[in-house]
Amino acid sequence: METLDDLFRRLDQLNEIGTSLSDERDLNLLLERIVLAAKQITRADGGTLYLVSEDRHYLHFEIVRTDSLNIAFGGSSERPIPGKFPDLPLHRPDGSPNDCMVAAYAAITGKTVNIADAYTADGFDFSGTRAFDLHTGYRSQSFLTVPMKNHEGEVIGVLQLINAIDASTGKVREFSPGDQRLAESLASQAAVALSNRQLVQQFEVLFESFIQLINTAIDEKSPYTGGHCQRVPELTMMLAEAADASREGPLADFRLTDKDRYELRIAALLHDCGKVTTPVHVVDKATKLQTLYDRIHLIDTRFEVVRRDAEVRKWQAIAAGADLAAAETTYAAACQHIDLDRAFLRQANIGCEKMPDADIARVRQIAGRYCWRNAAGEAAPFLSEDELENLTIRSGTLNRAEREIINHHIVTTIRMLEQLPWPKHLKNVPEYAGGHHERMDGKGYPKGLKREEMSWQARMMGIADIFEALTAKDRPYKDGMTLSRALAILENFSRNGHIDPDLHEVFVKGEVFRRYAKAFLKPQQVDC
């Protein structure tokens, strides 16, 4: 007979178990804890936990433990539930309750079933148990099957304990009324903890789905930016894991918990959410003259007008008595200049890393070389001020005003994220997401933060954002850089105060770039 001291000890265990269950975030580990705690508190040799399927048609095996047989499936064992443990139907084919199975009965009725000996019990089908015993040499005797009800009184699972062990003799005994009350109390606490964890998990899935919805909206606006929004989080987490694994240098003490990882991933997914407000023609500007269309075709038309003017001058000269051959030669020379200048402007319209001064000067010369008349018959500049500004862009395809529009997306991102009521474990998301365009020397934007004013996570995102942009193979205005070239640029950025040098060292020594390249780059880009 159980002493009062034993009872108080087990009640203390129950309280400790209830507290520990509420702290577990991993659903699989939570289920495992429930089974192990129930086995401990009732001194059971075996334990099984079933969850009711979402359609409420089946009980699904989640955790199986039997100490004397060294059986451990599910949970931290990393051994999946084998096929010999099929789902238990809660209803027969005709729709009637499948109340001959003890676990199904507990799930259907919400009642606890305490059986002293399965081999002599009436009313339940234990043929599967007997077959298991025959195959393993085990003797399944006492059963305690407890339904797990959530805060709404709905059965969400079933906890089944097998073969209570007498502490003094080591023999199998039946589960006592005290065992049953403790198991039912534990099942009640476990159901609340499980239900809460499932609700949190559902909210997390819903939240991430909303984030993906935002990125899908950006993707619909710009397939280039959309790919960026998916790849930067992957690279950020690769770098974060490498930093977490560091055991020397400035990052030797840097560690990430599961909550830290989740917070960083959410920030990385949202780092460009402000681009939902960026005009499409700026985001997707493939050439220097592109707005809603590529205005190079307007310049092509002007060249044709200039060519026809030259032809008109040729015939006017001939009509005035000029030598035919000389007129033809002059016209051919003019056409040759026109073709060369037209080809040059078409090439200048394509963005590059750095446009030479000589090319900029030639664009200006072409603008002053030709004169043409517009539809009103008025003399007009061959290139407008706006066209001249765009065609002389030194790097890329964006002019100063357009770069400010693009850069403003980070201001919008910060403003959007700071307006959200972040829970405690996600409170750093705005800082992480909003710092990926800052520089270590304080010359970044929008806040001009310096290295010591930024978290490691924000600095990681800065590196990921840059490296993804350098190697991206889906930009409209450039091909993805080779790995060696991108690494050389990143090395220079590390030296000149653009990115964090310690994280850059982790990025290189930890070969983060190689893992990213394997997942996202074209084979021809991987040249080192």
The reply to whether 45 and 153 lie within a common domain is: yes
The reply to whether 58 and 168 lie within a common domain is: yes
Q: Rounded to the nearest 5°, which phi and psi values hold at 44?
A: -90, 145
The reply to whether 436 and 372 lie within a common domain is: no
Instruction: Assess if residue 185 is contained within a domain.
Output: yes
Q: Which of 141, 167, 200 is the last residue of a domain?
A: 200
Contacts of 372 (CB under 8 A, 6+ apart): 302, 305, 306, 309, 379, 380, 382
pLDDT of residue 3: 57
Lowest mean pLDDT among 65-79, 139-153, 206-220, 511-525: 206-220
% of the chain surpassing 70 pLDDT: 93
The reply to whether 351 and 427 lie within a common domain is: no
Q: What is the pTM of this model?
A: 0.68
pLDDT of residue 292: 73
Instruction: Assess if residue 11 is contained within a domain.
Output: yes
| pLDDT one-digit tens code per residue, 403-429 | 888 778 889 999 999 999 999 999 999
The reply to whether 426 and 387 lie within a common domain is: no
% of the chain surpassing 90 pLDDT: 60
| CA distances to 42, 202, 263, 282, 445 from 270, in Å | 48, 19, 11, 20, 17
Contact assessment for residue 396 and residue 477, using Cβ atoms and an 8 Å cutoff: yes
The reply to whether 41 and 167 lie within a common domain is: yes
Domain with 180, as residue range(s), is 4-200
Instruction: Assess if residue 423 is contained within a domain.
Output: yes
Lowest mean pLDDT among 163-167, 222-226, 506-510: 222-226
Tally of CB atoms within 10 A around 357: 9
The reply to whether 192 and 261 lie within a common domain is: no
Q: Rounded to the nearest 5°, which phi and psi values hold at 205?
A: -65, -45
